[in-house]
Amino acid sequence: MIIQALAFYLFAAIIVASGLMVISSRNPVHSVLFLILAFFNGAALFVLLGAEFLAMVMVIVYVGAVAVLFLFVVMMLDINFVELRQGFLQYLPIGALIGVVLLIELLFVIGGGISPPDVALVSAVPIPEASGLSNTEALGQILYTRYIYLFQGAGMVLLTAMIGAIVLTLRAREGVRKQKISRQVSRTRDESIELKQVKPGEGV
């Protein structure tokens, strides 16, 4: 128990420190690297809780896909972060309001987590230890039966966020020719073909 407690406090401290460095680093590449470190330590906490499936998902999905995608987007796109930060003060009231709402929601979550020990006995959610199921099977039964609509709704929110991120990073550059499929399809034969009468012995 002492070793598990020490490991928990170690991983938790690293997560908190990494989170602070994510929002305080001036270099966005360093912020993404600290975010990856926070994800790895979060996966370690899931392993301590016995939720090996969630730990695997944390590493494969968040570190292997999301964080690496952020890193490549930040490194490959020519984004002027100084220009983006110029309008920070005008969005500060809205950001503060959203922060207060999130704080209230976290307080509700923490308050709802304090419950009597016998609540799990009357819950309709399958418990892996009591029902003989593995963590992965129990999680699948919960997500795809009881919380299927919330699960699909979360997927739609993530899809909307992905489309919004692509739209925000899509910047028009001058002097770059782009393909216009509608114009290509609507071209007629007269616009596409030009006939030349070539005389014998002469070139085009």
CATH topology of domain 8-80: Four Helix Bundle (Hemerythrin (Met), subunit A) (1.20.120)
pTM of the model: 0.54
* pLDDT tens digits, one per residue of 139-162: 788 888 888 999 899 889 988 988
**Distance of CA 143 to CAs 91, 137, 150, Å?**
36, 10, 8
**Distance of CA 164 to CAs 4, 152, 157, 169, 192, Å?**
41, 18, 10, 9, 37
Buried b (16+ CB within 10 A) or exposed e, 84-112: eeeeeeeeeeeeeeeeeeeeeeeeeeeee
* pLDDT tens digits, one per residue of 51-108: 888 888 888 888 877 777 777 777 666 666 666 666 667 777 888 898 899 889 888 8
C-alpha atoms less than 13 angstroms from C-alpha of 108 in its C-beta half-sphere: 6
Per-residue pLDDT at 115: 54
Specify whether the CB–CB gap between 12 and 45 falls below 8 A: yes
